[in-house]
Amino acid sequence: MLARLFWILMLTSCMLTSCENEGSAFEDSPLAGRLAGFDWEYQYGQANFELSSNSYEVEVYSTAQTEIDPCDIVSTIRGFVSVQFPSNTGTYQIPGQATLSFIQPGIANIPLTATSGFLEITAITGTRISGYTEANFDVDNAVIGGFILQVCN
């Protein structure tokens, strides 16, 4: 009986230790993919809460963006990923419960809205949102990976 209890405690300890050492989705695989047929890599993003829809409006920028603070970006000619999702943590279907659009470089008024995928929001605080997504429009516009966003309002 005592030996059995020892092994149960040992296994529980091992499971807890390995869980603590696992990286977040962002650390394991930062958001990357293709936008307008070019390689695209996440650098940072801004999130703004929209009270009227009780949702977040998000813009996720690539390593090509030069501003230091993502909340300082008002407009850009570089391509980016635009996301809208409810204000709670959870997993959302794209399209449907969440929307993800690929904003083409230099053509900000013509978004290509993802036709398949999902968005998982893992944490929301007053200053940051973290999550993971996989979304596709076509082979030239697709992303997968984790991200951390700065809440700007």
- Among candidate residues 109, 106, 108, 90, the one with its CA nearest the CA of residue 98: 90
pLDDT at residue 27 in the model: 54
pLDDT at residue 146 in the model: 96
- For the chain, domain boundaries: 25-151
The pLDDT tens digits for 123-138 are: 999 999 999 999 999 9
pLDDT at residue 139 in the model: 96
- Residue with the two structure tokens 């929307």: 99
Q: Is the pLDDT of residue 18 over 50?
A: no
The pLDDT tens digits for 40-80 are: 999 999 999 999 999 999 999 999 888 888 898 888 888 89
Pull the structure tokens for residue 44: 């940072």
Q: Is the pLDDT of residue 102 over 80?
A: yes
Rounded to whole angstroms, the Cα distance separating 21 from 104 reads 38
pTM (predicted TM-score): 0.78
28 — pLDDT class (breaks 50, 70, 90): confident
Q: What is the mean pLDDT of the chain?
A: 84
7 — pLDDT class (breaks 50, 70, 90): very low
Q: Which string of DSSP letters, residue by residue, matches 44-94?
A: EEEEEEETTTTEEEEEEEETT---SSGGG-S--SS-EEEEEEESSSEEEET
